[in-house]
């Protein structure tokens, strides 16, 4: 009885030390080439509850809470004069050349690009906004070279585009004709009011892709830096899915601790996702490769001599106390070195 109590106290102290690093520490343990290393971690040898000594990679994996959604919304400003006569509904998806809203019953159509339409576009101009226009016209089938020049061919393409949509043919693109958005968008909110002139943002939009967002403490941001591969598990959607951090932005905070808002893209394959759900994001940290490991609870304090030991089960069911050196800890397991081998069985508390 005394032995079990001592072991439990040591295991608890070790676990407290591990969990002090951060909430939700997990381990990924590679399998050993020795088939016995994959034995159950809750076997019985006579009167002993045991676990296998396993060999493989021991990884410290942090788990963060996230939310399934469409990412941060951005505004679509209304800069052209007129009266709003049509607006989409939240949840609508708008693609290239489809109406975003209408002024005086004339659709303002979506075109893809990151540079806002800050001027009327006409023949003789050059710039990033012109190149965006050329890219969109080319994608819509109006054959022209994609460059940053509004020349004769662009003017002819604009006139054909206007004619095909029963618009007044001017050869000029204005804010009453198009608005540039970052690809296909989902309507997140409608700010404009029918019957009124645009004032500020008419709409707020998001990407059409599902993403995971998480707010993490500044001290944990390194584990969720942009470009880091992670695994995400959406509640109600089955197994983990591979993901990658694509954005990390410090959150504004005057009173609370510093945090970072993280956006994660992931591959859902053909599975159906719920409309909204909580998500667990697992980020892999430090890895020790090819180590022998046992459950932390299997460690036994060696009393006045110091250090740790394991009670190794012999073939006849008796045990032998073997001194070991404890090392890296992750997910309730500890790397150990000493006179032990993969596949051996060690006593753990019942």
**Any idea what the CATH number is for the domain that residue 226 is in?**
2.40.30.170
**pLDDT of 18 higher than 50:** no
Percentage, residues of the chain above pLDDT 90: 71
- Angle CA(238)–CA(239)–CA(242) in degrees, nearest 5? 125
Q: Measuring CA to CA, which residue among 59, 41, 29 is closest to residue 346?
A: 41
Quote the longest CA-to-CA distance of the chain. Answer: 95
257: containing domain: 210-285
Question: If you average pLDDT over residues 82-98, what whole number do you get?
Answer: 97
Q: Measuring CA to CA, which residue among 326, 340, 341 is closest to residue 11?
A: 326
Residues 157 and 51 in one domain: no
Give me 323's structure tokens.
């001194």
What phi, psi does 263 have (nearest 5°)? Answer: -115, 135
Question: If you average pLDDT over residues 256-278, what whole number do you get?
Answer: 89
The structural domain count of the chain equals: 3
Q: Could you identify the residue written with the tokens 């002139």?
A: 197
Higher pLDDT, 5 or 56: 56
Residues 184 and 244 in one domain: no
Residues 37 and 91 in one domain: no
Neighbours of 44 (CB within 10 A): 12
Residues 167 and 259 in one domain: no
Distance CA 332, CA 341 (A): 19
Q: Measuring CA to CA, which residue among 18, 20, 23, 57 is closest to residue 37?
A: 57
Q: Could you identify the residue written with the tokens 């710039």?
A: 127
Q: Which of 262, 285, 308 is the last residue of a domain?
A: 285
Confidence grade of residue 32 (pLDDT, cut at 50, 70, 90): very low
Residues 25 and 128 in one domain: no
Residues 90 and 182 in one domain: yes
Residues 82 and 158 in one domain: yes
Fill in the DSSP letter of residue 149: B
Question: If you average pLDDT over residues 185-214, what whole number do you get?
Answer: 96
Query: Is 225 within a domain?
Result: yes
Query: Is 67 within a domain?
Result: no
Residues 327 and 281 in one domain: no
Q: Which of 161, 187, 207 is the last residue of a domain?
A: 207
Distance CA 83, CA 26 (A): 57
Q: Which of 285, 306, 325 is the last residue of a domain?
A: 285
Percentage, residues of the chain above pLDDT 70: 85
Distance CA 39, CA 35 (A): 8
Rg (CA), the chain: 31
Query: Is 68 within a domain?
Result: no
**Amino acid 31: pLDDT:** 35
Mean residue pLDDT of the chain comes to: 86
Does the CA dihedral 142-146-152-155 come out positive or negative? positive
Higher pLDDT, 341 or 349: 341
Question: If you average pLDDT over residues 43-51, what whole number do you get?
Answer: 67
Query: Is 66 within a domain?
Result: no
Distance CA 282, CA 233 (A): 8
Neighbours of 333 (CB within 10 A): 22
**Amino acid 47: pLDDT:** 66
pLDDT digits 0-9 by tens, 311-329: 999 999 899 999 999 999 9
Question: If you average pLDDT over residues 258-274, what whole number do you get?
Answer: 91
**Amino acid 1: pLDDT:** 40
Confidence grade of residue 19 (pLDDT, cut at 50, 70, 90): very low
Higher pLDDT, 4 or 290: 290
> The whole model's pTM is what?
0.67
Distance CA 29, CA 215 (A): 28
Edge-first strand listing for the sheet containing 201-207: 74-77, 201-207, 185-190, 93-94
CATH at residue 87: 1.10.101.10
Residues 223 and 181 in one domain: no
Q: How far is CA 312 from CA 32, 50, 82, 321, 341, in A?
A: 19, 9, 83, 6, 10
């Amino acid at each position: 009885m005394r032995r079990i109590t001592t072991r439990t106290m040591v295991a608890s102290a070790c676990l407290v030390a591990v969990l002090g690093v951060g909430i939700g520490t997990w381990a990924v343990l590679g399998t050993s080439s020795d088939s016995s290393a994959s034995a159950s971690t809750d076997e019985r040898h006579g009167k002993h509850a045991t676990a296998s000594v396993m060999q493989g990679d021991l990884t410290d994996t942090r788990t963060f809470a996230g939310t399934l959604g469409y990412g941060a919304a951005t505004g679509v400003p209304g800069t052209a004069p007129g009266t709003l006569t049509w607006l989409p509904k939240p949840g609508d998806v708008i693609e290239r050349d489809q109406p975003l809203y209408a002024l005086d019953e004339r659709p303002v159509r979506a075109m893809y690009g990151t540079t806002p339409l800050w001027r009327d576009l006409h023949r003789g101009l050059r710039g990033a906004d012109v190149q965006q226009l050329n890219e969109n016209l080319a994608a819509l089938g109006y054959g022209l070279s994609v460059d940053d020049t509004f020349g004769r061919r662009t003017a002819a393409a604009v006139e054909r585009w206007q004619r095909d949509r029963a618009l007044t043919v001017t050869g000029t693109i204005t804010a009453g004709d198009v608005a540039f958005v970052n690809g296909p968008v989902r309507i997140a909110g409608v700010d404009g009011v029918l019957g009124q002139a645009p004032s500020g943002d008419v709409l707020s939009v998001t990407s059409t892709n599902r993403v995971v967002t998480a707010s993490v403490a500044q001290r944990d941001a390194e584990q969720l830096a942009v470009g880091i591969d992670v695994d995400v598990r959406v509640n109600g959607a089955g197994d983990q899915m591979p993901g990658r951090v694509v954005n990390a932005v410090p959150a504004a905070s005057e009173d609370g601790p510093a945090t970072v808002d993280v956006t994660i893209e992931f591959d859902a394959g053909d599975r159906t996702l719920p409309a909204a759900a909580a998500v667990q994001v697992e980020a892999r940290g430090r890895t020790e490769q090819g180590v022998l490991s046992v459950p932390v609870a299997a460690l036994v304090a060696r009393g006045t001599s110091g250090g740790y030991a394991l009670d190794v089960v012999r073939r006849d069911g008796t045990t032998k106390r073997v001194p070991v050196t404890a090392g890296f800890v992750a997910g309730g397991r500890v790397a150990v070195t000493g006179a032990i081998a993969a596949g051996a069985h060690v006593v753990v508390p019942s």
